[in-house]
Amino acid sequence: AQSVTQLDSQVPVFEEAPVELRCNYSSSVSVYLFWYVQYPNQGLQLLLKYLSGSTLVESINGFEAEFNKSQTSFHLRKPSVHISDTAEYFCAVSDVYTGGFKTIFGAGTRLFVKA
């Protein structure tokens, strides 16, 4: 059965420090992988996604994620965070099921960036 596990519910970090938000999934078939970000009192918006090709994908605001097929992971990293990165981050996995695709979201990781 498909599932997505975000290993940390909350991650506090100081400004300008590096951060890694972890995401593991279970699926026996090819997958598409997404990270969405939710700023306070807003809807989710796409941060980055992996569809195929290079396993390292980047966003415009300095985040990157690497697809690791052997470890079934898609961890999100940023080398130096800003206060404005404070938000909740959701990993999502889409894979094939009978009749089409199915996208499942993880439970989310709250990133708190402290001054």
Q: How many residues does the chain have?
A: 115
Q: Is 32 in the site for other proteins (CB under 8 A)?
A: yes
Of residues 43, 54, 70, 115, which one binds other proteins by CB under 8 A? Answer: 43
Q: Which member of 24, 25, 34, 63 binds other proteins (CB under 8 A)? A: 34
Q: Based on the shown chain and the rule CB under 8 A, indicate whether residue 99 belongs to the binding site for other proteins.
A: yes
Residue 43's CB is within 10 A of a number of other CB atoms, namely 7
Applying CB under 8 A, which residues contact other proteins?
4, 6, 9, 32, 34, 36, 41-46, 49, 51, 90, 92, 94, 99-103, 105-108
